[in-house]
Chains A and B, each alone.
Chain A
Amino acid sequence: MSADSATFRFVSTNRRVREDRRFVAGYGHFIADVALEGMLHVAILPSQHPAARIVSIDASAALAMPGVHYVLTGDELAAATDPLMNGLDTPLVQRHPLAVGQTRYAGEWVVAVVADSRALAEDATERVRVSYEPLPFVMNAEEALKPDSPPVHPAHGSNVLLDRTFVWGEVEKHFAESPRQLSFRVTWGRNSTVPIETFGVVASWDPWREMLDVWASIQMPKYPDQIARGLRIPANGVRVHQDVDVGGSYGVKRGIKQTVLVAHLARRLGRPVRLIEDRLENMRGGDAHGPERIFDVEVAFNDDGIVKSMKMKALDNAGAYAGRAPFQLGKPIGAIVGPYKIESVQYRAQSVTTNKAVQEAVRGFGQAPTNYAIETAIDKVAAAVGLERIEVRRRNFIRKDEFPYLIPSGSTYDSGDYHTVVDKVFAHIDFAAMEKERDRLRASGLLAGIGIAACLEPSGANSSFEPLLNEKNTTTTWMESCRINIDGLGFVTVTIHNTSSGQGHETLVTTVIGEVLQIDPDLIRVVRPDSLACLPSNSPVGSRMAIMLGGAAFHAAQKLKAKLMRIAAHQFGLGEDKVAYAASSVRDPSSGKQLGWAELINIAHRNYHLLPEGMEPGLESTHVMQVPTGGTLPKDGRVQMYPCHSFEFHVVLMAIDPALGKPEIKRYVIGHDCGTVINPHIVKGMTLGGVAHGLGAALLEEFVYDDEGHLITQSFMDYLLPSAHEVPEVEIVHHCTPSPHTVFGQKGSGESGYLGAPPRYQPRSTTASRRWAFPSTSFRSVFPPSAMRSRTRNRANRKSKPNDHRLPRPSGAAKSAGRDPQPDCELSLDPPDR
């Protein structure tokens, strides 16, 4: 049931994104704008130790302060609530919003203070006395794997959350047969999407209706369910208000620990309670860090550069608790070979606990680091056989006529035309001119090179990595819903059942429904009911909403269109197949008789006597849609994951002053194919924003811990976000290979740009003098990262009396956590003979 792109009226046109209007006027409705009468405020006291036993907590001085209402400890909270859910089957890795018995990372939340204002709550946290007994700790993933490393969760027995090896195809045979092999290691540093708005939540308990009301800056599937479980209350006693605008999330605002904490307090105190993380709470203990991975990769190939087989080991440093993060090793399985026809793969996924902050779902859910490893492999193969990198890619790409294409791990890629996208990009760039420019830069004494990356963006979120990695999880349903009501005056109202963080969902659904019903999308109203009035939703994750919400809206609109046609056909005395719908009217082509919108509405709402037998009055339809290609459990370690696969191809020209080490992007071009584009503005924004995230991840952003287990980069002074100076102009070259699985041929694009950008920045050094492994934050080893200023520390120490538990720990002048750049390393971006 697809629509023909040639005849789109609204889809793919440059309609304004309607949500923008209220935001440019400053009338968004963000969580910090939610203020209930009598509301109290929370501040958090974190632990300063990477691991420590909590010996005692003395809140008496804090409680004596005016305006302070309560001090909550982990013991009390754990007695009243259930531990937060894990993704894997690791029941002895228990996570609570506040530490219980021991703290497991520096910055972990230990005590929550409730007061009349945030400022008073912060004052009071300074008066809570916690005594700790430091414990041994481990920060490094490879150390954590060793049997003698201190276990972060002693009850669990070791630091290993996951160690699972998959073998898809005849890997050993292919390796034995291949004339050539190579192996390498790459690392992906710990960074995250770090939205400008931190996570915040307001909860209010109504004891008379036994109802918990929640408002939050949230992007999380099954959020109400998890709140209910945590608080041990019926799920229909939780009402999440979804009309909260979310100030950016890109995956990370899962907020369940914050919500259980605040909900408990609301219930306990009988007053609404609000927690808005401040930036320190967010960076240190918001549990929103991203993957931190070491990849060891081997590939088997021939002299023509054809890669036959790959072995990949991915070791991820999950941090102190499990949560959902280990699944980020599972999702890339659905595109484990990237856009290439690699015939067999061995994949070992390892996730370990360490005494670092907890990871959350970051844009791409593990795909970006994996793409980085795959692209590095291809580049190395090209260097080994002496072929152009793009040529090796062309030879290994899946060809357009080979789709749908089944990859060794069990997913089928829906459609693609990678060769054409690459051709288009090169035509746009004038590659020869770019090479000349590179040579000119080199001649002027700079290091210069052209980086390329080709990768997939799986979209649709058929999240079958869950049952794949956890056999006890039998979830195969990933649904989304839409409800449309045409009221008695003929106006259309749509409900959507999730919060949005800038993806333009209102514009998406109205465009789709307007296309089907052939009415102006701007006349359609979108509302977001609260979770009790909602239909099932799985939230905007995994680039799924264009596919799923678009699909549900399409089908709901089709149902209404069919109903209107039936009503008209009944008036005309014809079969439904004899009438035609056009421009919101229904016509009998043979006689020319026509019923317009107003007349059809009137019949549906007020003339029951004119309705066909058995038809429900009114004009309302609902559609609950399952994800395309979903619904199967894994078998033999194979399963179909996401249904649709967008493709991106990045080309960047970069120069580095060898004396200074600072990279400069001269030109950035991305070819992007996400099938049919429902709203070009939105897709462009996703792509450019993703590239900026990727640039930050590769060149600027990192959560750095020192040797004492403290997070050094805990504010925006040290965790460097790209500004308009750092993000270059990006040229986008479009292509459209529709998906056969979706109503308009659309694929997802929410993670575009981010998945290919970081691989682009990694240098290919071919000289032996490369001294250290580049993290994905590649150039940052050359180009020293900025960190919390020891100078600020000195000034503070001179003038203040620091006995403040909230103080970030001093990093000390000499602690460099092993990241010292070696200034005399030689770098080249291209092997010198290109």
Chain B
Amino acid sequence: MKVDLRINGTIHSADIEPRKTLLDALRENFLLNGTHAGCEHGVCGACTVLVDGEPVRSCLMFAVQADGYDITTIEGLAPAPGELSVIQDAFCETHGLQCGYCTPGMILSAHALLQHTVTPTREDIVEAISGNICRCTGYGQIIEAVEFAAARLRIANTPRPQHGAPHHAQADQPIAEPK
């Protein structure tokens, strides 16, 4: 089936069979290897991407279901080649990773949290990353990274969407779900 997906702000088109997950399509059809397969049954969170700004397990979506959304992968976070976003840099600062396999999904979950929540508590952070399993770090330095990023974002001169509201879909998209 022909599918048009908006990924990191750009429309990509491909002919994809229905049973192919969004995860596999991102990697194989669009060569975006930053999203990783860990379990393919929706538990580990390594495949996390943002769909309309909210974390979603891309192994539990088929590519043919993913049209009409704003999909963000890890490759979409860096402001420019060789540069890191505040959250990505925070993970480097606190060493919030080791092998790097769960990291893209983890960072996207953190990114989504910090879009709505300016001063997350430790519990907020834990809940936000509870769907991302890490086997290396024991989560301590990950939580530190998110706290560090939150602090930096608070003092940064960068506007964020309104507190408490989820990230809104792009204005020129068809409404994909009831609001």
Contacts and interface: CB of A to CB of B under 8 A. Distances in A.
Whether chain A touches chain B in the assembled complex (some CB pair under 8 Å): yes
B103 interface: yes
Nearest to B31: A35
A684 B143 CA distance: 14
Contacts, number: 181
Contacts of B35: 26
B179 interface: no
A24 B135 contact: no
A732 B27 CA distance: 39
A688 interface: yes
Interface stretch (B39-47, B62-70, B156-164, B169-177): B39-47
Interface residues of A, number: 58
A27 B36 CA distance: 11
Contacts of B141: 681, 684-685, 688
A693 B98 CA distance: 14
B5 to A, nearest CB: 17
B102 interface: yes
Contact of A692 (B91, B95, B96, B138): B138
A278 B37 CA distance: 9
B60 interface: no
B41 A689 contact: no
Interface residue range, chain B:
35 or more
A691 interface: yes
B130 A724 contact: yes
A193 B133 CA distance: 13
Interface in A688-743: 688-693, 715-717, 721-725, 727, 729-730
A195 interface: yes
A253 to B, nearest CB: 11
B93 A245 contact: no
A724 B134 CA distance: 8
B34 A682 contact: no
A716 B43 contact: yes
Nearest to A753: B138
B126 A25 contact: no
B139 to A, nearest CB: 4
Contacts of B97: 20, 23-24, 502
A246 B139 CA distance: 19
Given A24-B100, A685-B136, A727-B140, 20 more contacts: A16-B95, A17-B95, A20-B92, A22-B100, A25-B34, A26-B73, A28-B100, A195-B135, A198-B38, A247-B99, A249-B99, A501-B98, A682-B95, A687-B138, A688-B139, A688-B140, A715-B41, A715-B43, A723-B129, A729-B140
- 6 A-B pairs closest in CB distance: A26-B34, A23-B100, A502-B98, A247-B101, A502-B99, A688-B138
Interface of A: 16-17, 19-28, 30, 32-33, 119, 193-198, 245-250, 276, 278-279, 501-504, 681-682, 684-685, 687-693, 715-717, 721-725, 727, 729-730, 753
26 contacts: A22-B100, A24-B91, A25-B75, A26-B35, A26-B73, A26-B103, A26-B104, A28-B34, A28-B101, A30-B36, A32-B27, A194-B135, A196-B36, A196-B101, A197-B36, A197-B99, A248-B101, A248-B135, A249-B99, A279-B38, A681-B94, A689-B98, A689-B136, A721-B135, A723-B130, A724-B130
